[in-house]
Amino acid sequence: MIDRLKKFMLWVYSIEPGGLLRSSWMNESLAGFAGGIVFMLLLHGSGVWTFLVFNLVSVLYERFVDPNGWSWSDVLSRVPGLILAIVIFVTLQKVA
């Protein structure tokens, strides 16, 4: 199963625009933002649970799936995008 995920991620990397691959922090921040929105929807708008669960999944991804291997830098680069997604989502919930 893990090997299939790694192969899938290598395929994703192969079709990513070159600019994202050269700018790791931008790539990871976008992943944090997109993942944050998905987790906010899955966890019914709970910012705390989204933050905790997303970061746990992020660490597990880096440890077991990422074809490039472990990187604290990648995990930490996802956090600003995640926080932005949570803030926007919570703000939009209060406005609606």
Q: How far apart are CA 50 and CA 17, in angstroms?
A: 28
Q: Is the pLDDT score of 72 beyond 90?
A: yes
Residue with tokens 């929807």: 41
Taking only the tens place, the pLDDT of each residue in 19-54 is 666 668 888 999 999 999 999 999 999 999 999 999
Per the prediction, the chain carries an average pLDDT of 89
CA 6 to chain centroid? 16
Whether 60 and 10 have beta carbons less than 8 Å apart is answered as: no
Whether 28 and 79 have beta carbons less than 8 Å apart is answered as: no
Q: Is the pLDDT score of 89 beyond 70?
A: yes
Q: Domain of 32?
A: 2-95
- Name the domain count of the chain: 1
